[in-house]
Chain A
């Protein structure tokens, strides 16, 4: 491995930092440069909509740091903050910044993530917020602290519902307005989505569906949300939770294939040699889910980082290439109304699903002929087993058989006594799209 090799990582959220960390872990001793367009040290995003808003992080803001401040120097990772990448250059491989500085590199890793989707006519108005960055979270937390008042959340997706949970716990009156006829409808069949938000009532969160939202209304500051049918909902604060878009605008004209994200192979290679992409911005094929899509999940960013670091390390060695590929089932988690929701695999709203529940624990399987995803509420052990079933390509009926026992199975291998409740199984047919 040559000492002069330089890896340039653009974007310093969990995907970018993971590439740097795994390169060092795997023995890469070349130069690592990490560019961030933010002015603060790299931080972790999942807590922003959960413990950060709830004020329950053990060390406050410090708990958000992805690595402590000394880590970058200790691992010889050159972290450049407030540096916005403007263009990938391929004549001399590297990146040109918005300030016209050029960073040449032997490998470029694109980790520029995604931005909160905005709605025309809403964004930028006082009292209308999104949540994606630490800065967004600071603004939202400050607004919530000035309350309590009335919060309207547009969109019953994971981020919107997490914000609703935190605000309601802080005493706000929360109204969620969703365009679709069920929550989490981009990911889950309606019955499963509804199951995930069962706790909303107990948390004083009102969720309404099939809401055709038209515009914000009020004077200098937003005072209400108006629907197309004329109904209005009073609001002191509005949060848009309507998804994200990948940050690929700066790659236009670079020659990289981009289509809802940077198109990559199973090792994270883009269509340009020695240019890689990881995390929310990247579209990788996954051999378990058989999907080639962007996966906006923390663990996926970690997986991508490990795989690209392994691949780059191999490229710099003289050994024949046998690049690692993404062959584990992705998973993610959410905190919804005091319950831990976890999902592994690839779920979509049109899949068959079977729900099994025992007491507060829920296990659900989703699929077509094959088992495609496993969802668990307050039962992480079920996700562990479910991932193994997914990895070995289990059929949907095998998944159903397993799920019938899984919800009531003891949460501990040592054999803690679970509440003796007969599992109740519900089968739901696929919904027409």
Chain B
């Protein structure tokens, strides 16, 4: 599974960082999310799903 971030949609809420701090960060200059790990391993999938669910801007997707 691969994390896809749509930067146009991202509004910098930072919920993805709250849910999955190992996978995401927030760029302080642009106030947009950064994907730290694009291809989470099996142990990180639950966190990745929680991050996708938590995005109020629906800017995150998990793709096969």
Compute how far the CA of A383 lies from the CA of B54 in the bound complex, rounded to whole angstroms: 14
Compute how far the CA of A384 lies from the CA of B25 in the bound complex, rounded to whole angstroms: 11
Residues of B within 8 A of A413 (CB): 21-22, 25, 36
Say which residue of B12, B28, B56 sits within 8 Å of A411 (CB atoms).
Answer: B28
Compute how far the CA of A301 lies from the CA of B22 in the bound complex, rounded to whole angstroms: 24
The residue among A44, A344, A381 with the most chain B CB atoms within 10 A of its own CB is A381
Residue of B nearest to A45 (CB): B56
Compute how far the CA of A44 lies from the CA of B13 in the bound complex, rounded to whole angstroms: 14
Q: Is the CB–CB distance between A387 and B56 below 8 Å?
A: no
Chain B interface residue count, CB cutoff 8 Å, equals 22
User: In the complex, how many residue pairs between chain A and chain B have their CB atoms under 8 Å apart?
Assistant: 57
Q: Is the CB–CB distance between A44 and B56 below 8 Å?
A: yes
B18 in the interface, Cβ–Cβ < 8 Å?
Answer: yes
B41 in the interface, Cβ–Cβ < 8 Å?
Answer: no
Chain A interface residue count, CB cutoff 8 Å, equals 28
Mask, A325-339, CB within 8 Å of B = 1, is 000000101000000
Q: Is the CB–CB distance between B28 and A344 below 8 Å?
A: no
Compute how far the CA of A46 lies from the CA of B28 in the bound complex, rounded to whole angstroms: 21
Say which residue of A47, A302, A411 sits within 8 Å of B54 (CB atoms).
Answer: A302
Residues of A within 8 A of B53 (CB): 302, 306
A58 in the interface, Cβ–Cβ < 8 Å?
Answer: yes
Q: Is the CB–CB distance between A298 and B18 below 8 Å?
A: no
Compute how far the CA of A344 lies from the CA of B18 in the bound complex, rounded to whole angstroms: 10
18 interchain pairs (CB within 8 A)?
A: A47-B11, A51-B11, A58-B9, A67-B58, A302-B54, A331-B18, A333-B13, A380-B17, A381-B21, A381-B26, A383-B14, A384-B19, A384-B20, A387-B18, A411-B25, A412-B25, A413-B25, A413-B36
Compute how far the CA of A333 lies from the CA of B15 in the bound complex, rounded to whole angstroms: 9
List the interface of chain A (C-beta within 8 A of B): 44, 46-47, 51, 57-58, 63, 67, 298-299, 302, 306, 331, 333, 340, 342, 344, 378, 380-381, 383-385, 387, 411-414
Q: How far is the CB of B29 from chain A (nearest CB, A)?
A: 11
Compute how far the CA of A210 lies from the CA of B21 in the bound complex, rounded to whole angstroms: 40
Compute how far the CA of A413 lies from the CA of B20 in the bound complex, rounded to whole angstroms: 12
Compute how far the CA of A340 lies from the CA of B12 in the bound complex, rounded to whole angstroms: 9
Q: Is the CB–CB distance between A380 and B9 below 8 Å?
A: no
Supposing A58-B8, A413-B21 touch, asked if A380 and B26 sit within 8 A by C-beta, the answer is: yes
| Interface hits, B1-52 → A, CB 8 Å | 8-9, 11-15, 17-22, 25-26, 28, 36
Compute how far the CA of A344 lies from the CA of B20 in the bound complex, rounded to whole angstroms: 15
Residue of B nearest to A414 (CB): B36
Compute how far the CA of A331 lies from the CA of B53 in the bound complex, rounded to whole angstroms: 14
Q: A383-B14, A412-B25 are in contact. List 12 more A-B contacts (CB 8 A).
A: A46-B56, A51-B11, A58-B8, A63-B57, A333-B13, A340-B14, A342-B18, A384-B19, A411-B25, A411-B26, A411-B28, A413-B22
Q: Is the CB–CB distance between B36 and A342 below 8 Å?
A: no
Q: Is the CB–CB distance between A299 and B28 below 8 Å?
A: no
Residue of A nearest to B25 (CB): A412
Q: Is the CB–CB distance between B56 and A381 below 8 Å?
A: no
Compute how far the CA of A23 lies from the CA of B8 in the bound complex, rounded to whole angstroms: 29
Residues of A within 8 A of B25 (CB): 381, 411-413
Compute how far the CA of A378 lies from the CA of B12 in the bound complex, rounded to whole angstroms: 11
Q: Is the CB–CB distance between A381 and B17 below 8 Å?
A: yes
Residues of B within 8 A of A58 (CB): 8-9, 11
Compute how far the CA of A342 lies from the CA of B19 in the bound complex, rounded to whole angstroms: 13
Residue of A nearest to B17 (CB): A380
Q: Is the CB–CB distance between A333 and B54 below 8 Å?
A: no
Compute how far the CA of A263 lies from the CA of B21 in the bound complex, rounded to whole angstroms: 34
Residues of A within 8 A of B57 (CB): 63
Residues of B within 8 A of A342 (CB): 14, 18
Residue of A nearest to B50 (CB): A328
